[in-house]
Amino acid sequence: MGRSFQRALMLAVLLASQLTADIFRWDNQQLIPGTEGLTVEPGAVLSGLDLQYAVLENVTNVDFTSSNLAHARLDGSFSGTKLNDATIDNIEIGIAVSGLPLSLDQLYSTRSYQLHQLSGIKLDQSDFVRIDFSSGDFRQQDLSNAKMNYTVLDSADFNQADLAGIKLVDVWGTGADFSSSNLAGAALDSAIFDNANFTRANLAGAGLTEARLTNANFTDAIINDVDFGGSSLTEQQLQSTASFQSGNLRGTSFFYAFSVAGWNLSGQDLSYAAFDYMTSTNLESSQLVGADLTGAIVDNANLRGANLGNANLEFLNGLATAQLVDAKYNQWTRLPEGFDAASAGMILEPSPTGDFNADLLVDSADIDFLGGIVSGRLPAQYRRSWLPDSLYDFDNDAKQSMSDYYALVNDVLHTSVGDADLNGMFDSGDLVRVFTAGEYEDEKAGNSGWADGDWNADGDFDSGDLVVAFQHGTYEQGEPAMVHAVPEPSTFITLAISLLFCAKFRKRFQLACVMR
């Protein structure tokens, strides 16, 4: 429901009840208890109130000291507005078309800022009305899922801040410090980040399309799944990242008016990446599994020994001059119509059922990939439109679900849930392995895979995975049959409890757990 419609509905409620005051919630149009007879007008004292989800217009000189404004919607000039000790997480502040916008001092005075709890705040602005937070101190703040598009952030400090999912589209951020911050999934498109510091920042899944990055520092940054299309990223900046240094540029997009012409990307894992201009680019021995090269310009590009399984090479320009000797492709690779791969020196290596990364093996990496697909955890680019849905359908029901995940384990790999090392049996060795990995109920979300104890495809190893393993009833029984009687659980439970105890207390007491 649009904001304008909600306001119209609010007005109708007020007129119908012949009220001249009171404060209502925008989400359900209900009167907020304790606000009977109160009016939001310049100079009003609305301190110490629970104003969650309130509609608060014309807030000039209003006193909100110690009030709870979480999820509230505020409009008007912030001249003289008092927010001392106020709670403002998820607040939405409209464009101040006249008067003063929210200031840094007002933000600093809030309880939410002092507690580093600014998640979800939304500051509506435009290219003509910008809030100026230049040199702002946002160190270690939680600004996850906040919206601060168009904000002036020149020289602002976001060191170690949680900025996951934040929207900073079209901001001015010259000299801003994002070092060691979490920018996973952030929208940073069309922003100016000249001389900005992204050292050790986590930019996984962020959008930087058309961003200006002149002299920005990306040393040791994580850039998997980042969209750099149309940005000014340089080869030197790319090579300074932790992702490049580790050879892992999976999912990175260099599409849309972006040139990697002449760059050296040899040996990099560029699976599910996207490209546009690739003239003379060195991609020798690189992983381009599932890569989108549709319509790219590849004159004189070096693709010798590259893995092009599942990739799309349709409508390529300059393919005749590209070096393709020993480049590998599989039955799912899309080649240009009439192109003779064999004459170009390419090698056909058909992938077996369940091999999603075209390495001719079906292993835990493939289990994790399918888990990411059916759970929706993998970004959209990993579900390529040219690949058939049947590729992920292992139970033949024409849809993708956890049933396919377990069918891959049971029917293709011929093993069972809990078999972390994929040796064909879920036994004590698997439990020792996953608990030794140290990821049981850790604080890092989404860091676990099949080999680490994630057996329900949620990306983490926790009690839910042990429950799933126990429910499948295959502990020390080998490959599951179509129907199982649940085994005597005492051995499984005893071992699991022992390992759980070790996992919980190992860090505290610096002990090593040894199973005998």
Phi first, then psi: give them for residue 365, nearest 5 degrees: -60, -40
- Pairwise CA distance, residues 53 & 414, whole Å: 53
Q: For the chain, what is the mean pLDDT?
A: 90
Q: What is the pTM of this model?
A: 0.88
Q: Considering the chain, what percentage of its residues have pLDDT values greater than 90? A: 81
261-272 pLDDT tens trace: 999 999 999 999
Determine contact, residues 455/418, Cβ cutoff 8 Å.
Answer: yes
56-100 pLDDT tens trace: 999 999 999 999 999 999 998 999 999 999 999 999 998 876 778
- Residue, of 485 and 185, whose pLDDT is higher: 185
Amino acid letter, residue 282: N
364-399 pLDDT tens trace: 999 999 999 999 999 999 999 999 999 999 999 999
pLDDT of residue 96: 74
pLDDT of residue 514: 41
| Location of structure tokens 């359900």 | 28
Q: Where are the alpha helices (DSSP H) in 193-298?
A: 235-239, 242-245
Confidence of residue 357 (pLDDT cuts 50, 70, 90): very high
- Pairwise CA distance, residues 504 & 238, whole Å: 39
Question: How many residues are given for the chain?
Answer: 516
Domains of the chain: 1-124 (2.160.20), 367-509 (no CATH)
Residue 18 has pLDDT above 80, yes or no: no
